[in-house]
Structure 1
């Protein structure tokens, strides 16, 4: 039978979010109902509310979540009732051209639930990133559930569902940071700090954090930054070169998503170094650069989608490293809030007062 629960929606562009009744349908053959235990408030949720993703309102917000599998569809084999899972938005299909070429982390046809959650009047909801987890229970495809060690705190584990995984993966998967590398990270919010944590985990010898906010630079040190650059008063490229024996960093991760910071990343890397763009730009942004510079400096210019992660491979491993004390995921949780505080958390996000607000049930 369908059931009705509480959820947070964005009804129209720019309007404050609302708590409403959400109808969860019976799961289809490969669908799963998950009782949400915690869900982080991500910038992507704000982008949905502001109409920056698409205009398919109303949106059921939330996607960085962990919880307990409650009900499964008739054909589900991947999980079972009672499993502790982190939700993901890359439920690989196994059939698209990326999957068939052995690159499932690029899956171009990720699976989502076969049915729509609705308002009580029947209005269909668009779940954020195919998940929609600011809700007591949510309906997802079985492949969107990744089992992890239930000893993990749900408020911590759920953050792997988006921003933290994006940053760690930008360093370890896309950037291929390895032992002894020099790394610079431009932008030290949640994603940037996760990239710093990933670079440290990979064995980088020098990790340079760049930001304009002194608080964020202090946070970056907690995650493993060995040097900091105050971009409000220092030349970013010169300082990165200074900290890398005049050469530039082997890997520069741009976690802002702006043309000016991407250019800083480009010129702050060593010859044949790598630039990783994980910050998300807006459609109107452009870059004008001499083509000879792109040629003569060599190396690789990459974009990182979801940290090029494979949830079934990466989530359990990262949770295990966290439980071993080697990955301080708990430091990303700035505050724990209730469902009715999501709108206020967007304001805290704007002022830079938090790395992550996490809704807990």
Structure 2
């Protein structure tokens, strides 16, 4: 059915579909649904404790057979910057007063855990078939220990240079994350996002630059987009926003409402919620504080500053201060079971992505490179 079977063969899945590991919105139920549809389930681990990860993995293993991806962040904990954080809290103080809550004297809680010794030991204990990383790769000794477990290692690249870096460090496959993607940018070699390429521009460039299979991510919401990425040389797709309205997702009521009401051009890149650029639906906080605020605390320290405002607003049924993560294909997200979404999407994509046509396109690309 699929012209390129490198990812399905490598990961042991029936369909070239990976669930995007969405921290806060994805859990065991969503992973199970996508695995039942023949794709690769994912568990985002950056916001979970080791015991929570163990419980989620146990739930998945008891419900369905198949490979599982555990996803981790690879950020470096920032150095303390009390002056910057104090200034940011002062900037937020009018909102605290408006919502009737006392401004904190200091930011507490980072909200995101980096891949460290404890996380690596957990991978060695749980033995997932796939381990994926965001914001680059772990330090060499930890990465080597992951490889020793036998797990396939994949990571996100937002540029060709990042893809080459990931391949040089042994990644088995690379996620080409276009700027349309929802949630955090996986950028790790530089900080400027102004020149970040789109998925349609990024995928063929990375395909031409590296030898490992490429997984396309970003702005892929229907079968046409899936087929298009295959034509450009991707071996699989990774989808997240498409599943956010499914009953299996952990998406909050306020977030679901925003997804249902969002117009096609209402997502933006912002750093105000966590300190790193991430794509979400525009709201009051983004409009008044960002979208990109140079004075926001470093990732992930910014999370603690807005968390009390988010809670107070959500208690009033408002998403004014909530990170409403979503990609540019938000208009294609629909309310349906995740297994149904995945099954129908890939069935339609298979009909569009005719092997003979994809073969001719890839042959033409190969000939161009040789010339």
Where is the helix percentage greater, Structure 1 or Structure 2?
A: 2
The normalised TM-score by structure 1 is: 0.29
TM-score by length of 2: 0.28
Does 1 or 2 have the higher relative contact order (CA < 8 Å, sep 6+)? 2
| Structure 1 or 2: more strand by fraction | 1
